[in-house]
Amino acid sequence: MNEKILDSKNVSVSFRINGELQTALHKISVSIKRGEVLALVGESGSGKSTLAMSIMGLHNAEQTEVTGSITLDGHELIGLTERQFDQYRGVRVGMIFQDPLSSLNPLMKIGEQISEAIVVHDKNAPNLKGHVQRLLTDVGIINPKRVAQQYPHELSGGMRQRVMIAIALSNEPDLIIADEPTTALDATIQAQILDLIKEIQLKKNAGILLITHDLGVVAETADTVAVMYAGQIVEQADVEELFANPKHPYTRSLLRADPSNVSPGEELYAISGTVPALKDMDHSKDLFLQRIPWLSDDVVNATIDEELEVVGDNHFVRGNAWKTFEFLDVTEKGHAK
């Protein structure tokens, strides 16, 4: 059970923008065991989806440079050709996307879209119709025969996401990447889809990489959490540890900004500023400190250790700021220890 299904070491991704390479991911190391759910959290622009696209090999090869190592069940993925990657995509790794309406082909029947995922890896797949219907039943669709004949626009949002999950599961992958699977859904449907993901984790014993910015989803689903900011991991820990004992100011701010932690009538807390643009990311610093107005410039601009510091059992934090300052609230309440 301890077998690492996904192991990424020092993964960096740069995009060629106007002829210049700009780093979007800087030395990311994460691993997922079979049956484990790793949640990647962070704001938009922090690089969560970029990591997922690197694992899937879906970056535009001409405009992207991926370095480091990503192994899937011991096989190196970085440097594979398109054709070689096609042997992994959809078979060993399945992916669930954010918006199930735009992620399904509007002109193709549901059944065709699922069977395509099977046929592309096995031209002579036996009993295709039965397989598709079994998959639809597995993801909790009550009337699989009818749904297979329908078009995406005829289904509800929750049903569409179930179909997306059926596609991701169609070849029993070792790893499932769920990129904000519940963001486009309403609250009750969200809960159902999360239950389904957890059920899959138990039944299929696959590793799950869950990308989200919703801490509620993390608390409910994940085993391990990696918090990302500006293309780097700033803190990583088991889920209970992270919620009980957050260290990095960004993690603390995220938890503070979670609306479910606010009592009625109280003002919502928001982190001021935004994630810096790719060209402004200097990964030798703790980039989040720029967003804390009361920190002095020498603290903000201090160069920090490249490695994450081990602060506990399976708990890693980036930078030093958390050691010298108390971060109750990023706006004003912080002070030196």
Partner 1 sequence: MWQTILRRILIMIPQIILVSILIFMLAQLMPGDPFYGNLNPNSDPATIERLRHAAGLDLPWYQQYFKWIGNVLHGDLGTSYVVNKGWTVTRIIGQRIWPTLSMGIIATILTYFLAITQALVSARNENKWIDRTFIVWNTMTSAVPSFVFYFIMMVLFVYIIPVFPSSGTGIDDTQSFFVNFFSNLRYAFLPALTIALFSTNSIYQYLRSNLLDQQAQDYVRTARAKGVQIKDVFRKHILRNAFLPIASQIGYSITGVLGGAMFAETVFGYPGIGALFVQALSGRDYTVITAVMLLQGILALLGGLLSDIISAWVDPRIRVK
Binding residues for partner 1 (CB under 8 A): 56, 58, 82-83, 86-91, 94-95, 97, 99, 102-108, 116-117, 120-121, 151, 153, 164, 167, 170
Q: d(Cα 247, Cα 202) in Å, to the nearest integer?
A: 31
Instruction: Please give the span between the terminal C-alpha atoms of the chain, in angstroms, as a whole number.
Output: 42
Q: Which is nearest to 245 in space by CA: 144, 322, 176? A: 322
Q: d(Cα 270, Cα 154) in Å, to the nearest integer?
A: 38
Q: What is the smallest separation between the CB atom of 184 and partner 1, expressed in angstroms?
A: 11
Please, are residues 226 and 38 in contact by the beta-carbon 8 Å criterion? yes
Q: d(Cα 269, Cα 154) in Å, to the nearest integer?
A: 39
Q: What is the smallest separation between the CB atom of 57 and partner 1, expressed in angstroms?
A: 9
Please, are residues 20 and 191 in contact by the beta-carbon 8 Å criterion? no
Closer CB to partner 1, 99 or 238, in the complex: 99
275-284 core/surface letters (b: 16 or more CB in 10 A; e: else): bbebeebebe
Q: Which is nearest to 202 in space by CA: 90, 78, 333, 34? A: 34
Closer CB to partner 1, 147 or 215, in the complex: 147
Closer CB to partner 1, 132 or 292, in the complex: 132
Closer CB to partner 1, 56 or 210, in the complex: 56
Closer CB to partner 1, 94 or 334, in the complex: 94
Which residue carries 């703790």 as its tokens?
A: 286
Closer CB to partner 1, 103 or 251, in the complex: 103
Residue type, 120: V
Q: What is the smallest separation between the CB atom of 209 and partner 1, expressed in angstroms?
A: 13
Q: What is the smallest separation between the CB atom of 103 and partner 1, expressed in angstroms?
A: 4
Q: What is the smallest separation between the CB atom of 113 and partner 1, expressed in angstroms?
A: 8
Closer CB to partner 1, 94 or 246, in the complex: 94
Q: What is the smallest separation between the CB atom of 114 and partner 1, expressed in angstroms?
A: 9
Residue 157 exposed, middle or buried by CB count within 10 Å (0-12, 13-18, 19+): middle
Q: What is the smallest separation between the CB atom of 291 and partner 1, expressed in angstroms?
A: 31
Q: d(Cα 29, Cα 236) in Å, to the nearest integer?
A: 10
